[in-house]
Amino acid sequence: MILNTLNSRSFFIAFGIIVFCMLTFIAVHQPQQFSTASIGPGIDDRLVSLRVDDFIVHISEKVLDGIRNEKLLCPDLRRELSTSSDGSEKKLPTLYIITPTYKRPEQIPDLTRLSQTLMHVPSILWLLIEDAEVLNPNVAEIVKRSGIPFIHLIAPMPKDEQKKKVKARGVSNRNRGLEWIRENNVDPDGVIYFADDDNTYDLRLFEEIRVVKKLGMFPVGLITSTGVSTPIVKNGLVTGFYDGWIANRKFPVDMAGFAFSVDLLYQKPNARMPFIPGYEEDKFLQSLEVKKEDIEPKANNCTKIYVWHTQTKKNKAPVKAKGNYENTNIDILYNVLES
């Protein structure tokens, strides 16, 4: 009886050792990246040992399944890690974000806000183009600090346009960005978007425009007396346009309300934006020779607003208060404000 009991215990001990060794062997020879997620109280969830570099870590089976099934990855990352039919990694199409900017009290805070939005967007190239004769080092510092791949250029408004009472601001900058894209023969699968620095952007907008095949359009909030500019969509098709200022425009849309493919730009080498205040978007889209039937309604058939024309409040140039501020931080701060 005693012998049988000892044999039985030995068997279970040996069996346990064998199972433990097998699990350890599998864990050590299955290197994987890992993520963490909080597990609610009372949830029965076993831990799995994995080797990450030279460390053994423990991870929840539910979390591990989430990684395997990509449930814990954001949509952009899922697409970026998806594979082509031949098994190779399929990268995201590049977004070419063209931002015109000019010197004013709000320039640095506007660009700071925009840069910290774009920092969360994968696979982009930011073309930041100043309406200036020389590059502003304070603007350059913002884009460098962001870590976003960027091109920093100048494209001053032509002298004759500067003399006009009503100016078509940003046109020379956007045209320079389009020229750079043509000159550098970028990926034709990419998408171009004009992102002004005084708008507010939902990150979902960039997911939407990345899949544009030719010309995508979507609503823009906080614009004109109607509060929104958008294509009118019925049964998934664009049937017209809703905007507070139609003005006999074929495409009465806001600059922030459309994105188009690099391939389309390549097909229309003469497409440019004109210096016609109020008609920049319309005339540019006409130069691309697109039709209403070409428009791809984005943002859930144009029922969501992912970009707002917030327009930072205009501020007068700062005036330093009277007083003796020699050898203090005040002079430095005013150099920043006036940059």
What is the pLDDT, as a whole number, of residue 317?
80
Active site residue 281: yes
Q: Which long-range contacts (CB under 8 A, 24 or more apart) does 236-241 make?
A: 236/297, 236/301, 237/293, 237/297, 238/292, 238/293, 238/295, 238/297
pLDDT at position 335 is: 80
Judge whether 202 and 222 are in contact, CB under 8 Å. no
Among residues 130, 280, 281, 296, the one annotated as catalytic is 281
pLDDT by residue (tens digit) across 106-121? 999 999 999 999 999 9
Residues 6+ away with beta carbon under 8 Å from 237: 293, 297
pLDDT digits (tens, 9 = 90+) for 180-239: 999 999 999 999 999 999 999 999 999 999 999 999 999 999 998 899 999 999 999 999
- pLDDT-derived band at 41, boundaries 50, 70, 90: very low
Average pLDDT, the chain: 82
The span from the CA of 112 to the CA of 287, in Å, is 33
- Judged against a pLDDT cut of 60, whether residue 65 lies above it is answered with no
Q: Is the pLDDT at 291 greater than 90, yes or no? A: yes
